[in-house]
Amino acid sequence: MTTVYSSIASPADRMTERLRAEAREEQPGPATGPVTKETQIIAIYGKGGIGKSFTLANLSYMMAQQGKKVLLIGCDPKSDTTSLLFGGKACPTIIETSSRKKLAGDEVKIGDVCFKRDGVYAMELGGPEVGRGCGGRGIIHGFETLEKLGFHEWGFDYVLLDFLGDVVCGGFGLPIARDMCQKVIVVASNDLQSLYVANNVCSAVEYFRKLGGNVGVAGMVINKDDGTGEAAAFAERAGIPILSAIPANEDIRRKSANYEIIGKPDGEWGPLFGELAENVGSAPPVRPKPLTQDELLGLFASEVVGRNVVLQPATLEEMCGVSSIEKPTLEVVYDAA
């Protein structure tokens, strides 16, 4: 596209027109073929408590059992991503270990922060204590430490990043904003709040695609699926595939609460997680179509989300609890000449 500038336009006007011309240019579509990078870095987002850690622990375990070399990185300040993988044991976080080592004048080493189980390597970035810092800034600091440890030189088939999806500050959007991953996966359920978060993640991906980013959404994992269908309807409207639907099952809930891995090839749920592992690896990143708020609410019955509520304007009398007296203005208004 060629833009012609007027010879009498000011430099500021020419800059404005150039930026507008760039904004009007159609961005190239997402890659639709298989990911070709040797290491697939995948960011998994979802509402807090939706089951990302459960899904990732079992997914990473299954991938390792399939012969893949997998690194699981918890990017949630709660530092609970690896708890299921390690039978409930707390994993020393990178931020806490880095601070302690720095005070002692020592350097952080891989063995201080990365641990393994049955072929799965795992670590936690961690975060500040409540009221003592920014969680997003902690994420950024954690990745800076990972880079010093040689993150870009590690030889893994998959690196899975567990991110809290209902926090919108820059640190938690790092993989999307800086093209640190090739694709994103959202974990949701058949409830409005988890789908609201999934939609926000799709919106973030689409926003950075318009700015020239390359990250796409590989699909959705429906967790605690009770068969009502709202999550599947969202995925269809957003144009993203369903990678797996994990049922709302008492056996799964009980074993997860007891920190038991169920994603084992010879277990009852092995085929489910085996299929999920295959889908995660092969799903191409696609450009999502985020829904509007009304479209999102439209996935649910009106009595469930209160869609029939009418907004009633408040009055000053109601706010103050007394009747207000209209007073004439003292402003002098001049007639136009």
Structure tokens at 51: 């089951």
Q: Is 68 a catalytic residue?
A: no
CA 250, 253, 257, 261 dihedral sign is positive
80, 112, 157, 166: the active-site residue? 166
Q: Catalytic: which of 47, 183, 224, 255?
A: 47
The one catalytic residue among 52, 183, 224, 255: 52
Q: Is 47 annotated in the active site?
A: yes
Q: What DSSP assignment string belongs to 32-96?
A: -S---SSSEEEEEEE-TTSSHHHHHHHHHHHHHHTT--EEEEE-STT--TTTTTTTTPPPPBHHH
Over the range 92-115, which residues count as b (16 or more CB within 10 Å of their CB) and which as e?
bbbbbbbeeeeeeeeebeeebbbb
Query: Which tokens belong to 48?
Result: 């807090």
Q: Which helix (H) or strand (E) holds 174?
A: helix 174-177
Percent helix, strand, coil in the chain, to 5, is 40, 15, 45
Nearest to 91 by CA among 100, 81, 101, 77: 81
Query: Is 101 designated active site?
Result: no
SS (H, E, C) 233-297: HHHHHHCCCEEEEEECCHHHHHHHHCCCCCCCCCCCCHHHHHHHHHHHHHCCCECCCCCCHHHHH
Contact 194, 261 (CB under 8 A): no
Options 68, 69, 78, 101, the catalytic residue: 78
Catalytically active residues are: 47, 52, 78, 166
